[in-house]
A and B are shown apart, each in its own frame.
Chain A
């Protein structure tokens, strides 16, 4: 509904943010600070919920082993002290180690084997030319891209290793085309968010229905 009070306040704040694109001003700085404060308040509330529900209530219910987790978590606060910041390394070791291991144990299957299997299971020769060329692109692009990505350091050598150089160059072109397509998608992503905000402001002030 046009000119609704809540939406008018929100639209004014949106205009305040967009003003930074033209000139730095005090209104933008004010809106920015308020936004940071609110976001951090939400973060603290969320952290409080997890610490209380997962870290304190189980202790009160008799699960005393959780005290160890709470102490390890509190050790992170030692990062603010220059002499005792090394205490936080124990907690960081557990966090980094567990997170990395959880990622890695399925990354091989999800990222490496999944990708290679998807390409290998595609027949190279199909009953139409476009299909064959496309599948050939997928096969050659993957191999050449990996050759360029993983094995080329310090630029493609100008002399020697002709087959490697050809694959490396094809890989470079494959990745360039990928970056172009990726940029095209990025433009869509960024522009739609801006479009939504502009349409919100226009609807709030009754310029569009």
Chain B
């Protein structure tokens, strides 16, 4: 028994061994991919259906509230959502909300969507990029206020500095009354959106967020406050499968399986070592 333990034991101070093993397994999983079918979750299906079922001519507030650290998790969902919105005939207001990098992330995702930067239609008529606003919920509350929060909270200008009077899309957008759907990519859980858009004004909400915030998002979906959700890169891959355009997320999740098995393996090995140590202390061989 002790020989087996010695064989599988990872030296105590050698976390670098663990790091190296993870990277090696990841490289192996991409060079020898295990292609397994992806089951689409109910929450992802609801996210997709809510967008598809929205009647034409509505106004969608699309928020890119994530930064470079979450690119791997949410980049796929952002581009897939843009690809899906191209098939709709709705007005799209793209906002970075309170992410300082949001405007740059929006420009990046617009460049990577199918059809290129202007695939959503004519700028200023069919879609517009709104400017950054600090303060999270303070900013959202200011945006939604009557009579003209959508203009005044953002200094009456769009992201590029153009006056909102020169943007026809903003002629009919003034406050919460003019927003028909909020889609938020990122945003540190769904709580901010539910508190400032859903509860006071009843605006339907869809959220794509990282797995760390999935617990909060799932709670709000079960409470009925959020209509649908995308969970990290796995949900993004499911959305890409639904719209039929594979992207970043689909290629990312190919390596997920072996990696999770490795971490479970680490936990099992650690516990075997621990339990064997306890057994030895009690006088076993």
In the complex, the chain B residue whose C-beta lies closest to that of A117 is: B223
Q: A21-B16, A186-B211 are in contact. Are A195 and B26 (CB under 8 A)?
A: yes
Q: A109-B199, A198-B23 are in contact. Are A193 and B100 (CB under 8 A)?
A: no
- Contact between B215 and A114 (Cβ–Cβ < 8 Å)? no
Stretch from A45-53, A79-87, A123-131, A150-158 forming part of the interface with B: A45-53
- Contact between B195 and A103 (Cβ–Cβ < 8 Å)? yes
Q: Which of A58, A95, A98, A199 is most buried by chain B, counting CB atoms within 10 A of its CB?
A: A199
| Interface 0/1 of A39-57, CB less than 8 Å to B | 1001100110110111001
A166 within 8 A of partner (CB):
no
Q: A22-B19, A53-B131, A99-B137 are in contact. Are A192 and B200 (CB under 8 A)?
A: no
A6 within 8 A of partner (CB):
no
In angstroms, Cα B69 to Cα A197, docked, is 11
Q: A49-B132, A103-B195 are in contact. Are A189 and B73 (CB under 8 A)?
A: yes
A191 within 8 A of partner (CB):
yes
- Contact between B26 and A198 (Cβ–Cβ < 8 Å)? yes
Q: Give, as a whole number of angstroms, the nearest-CB distance from A46 to chain B.
A: 4
List B contacts of A193 (CB < 8 A).
69-73
Segment 60-77 of B: residues with Cβ below 8 Å from A: 69-73, 75
A25 within 8 A of partner (CB):
no
Q: How many A-B residue pairs have CB under 8 A?
A: 153
In the complex, the chain A residue whose C-beta lies closest to that of B219 is: A115
Segment 1-46 of B: residues with Cβ below 8 Å from A: 16, 19-20, 22-23, 26-27, 30-31
Q: Give, as a whole number of angstroms, the nearest-CB distance from B143 to chain A.
A: 12
Q: A106-B196, A118-B222, A187-B260 are in contact. Are A195 and B137 (CB under 8 A)?
A: no
Q: A110-B225, A196-B248 are in contact. Are A182 and B215 (CB under 8 A)?
A: yes
In the complex, the chain A residue whose C-beta lies closest to that of B194 is: A110
Q: Give, as a whole number of angstroms, the nearest-CB distance from A64 to chain B.
A: 16
B251 within 8 A of partner (CB):
yes
- Contact between B223 and A115 (Cβ–Cβ < 8 Å)? yes
Q: A49-B132, A106-B199, A192-B253 are in contact. Are A186 and B212 (CB under 8 A)?
A: yes
- Contact between B134 and A192 (Cβ–Cβ < 8 Å)? no
- Contact between B248 and A191 (Cβ–Cβ < 8 Å)? no
Q: Which 5 A-B pairs have the closest CB atoms?
A: A53-B155, A196-B72, A189-B211, A193-B72, A192-B233
Sample of 6 further A-B pairs with CB below 8 A, known A95-B135, A110-B199: A39-B101, A53-B131, A114-B225, A196-B72, A196-B252, A208-B31
Question: What are 26 A-B residue pairs whose CB atoms fall within 8 Å in the complex?
Answer: A22-B16, A39-B101, A42-B100, A47-B134, A50-B133, A57-B155, A95-B138, A114-B199, A114-B220, A114-B223, A114-B225, A185-B211, A186-B212, A187-B260, A187-B263, A188-B232, A191-B256, A192-B232, A192-B252, A193-B71, A194-B22, A195-B72, A196-B75, A198-B26, A207-B27, A207-B31
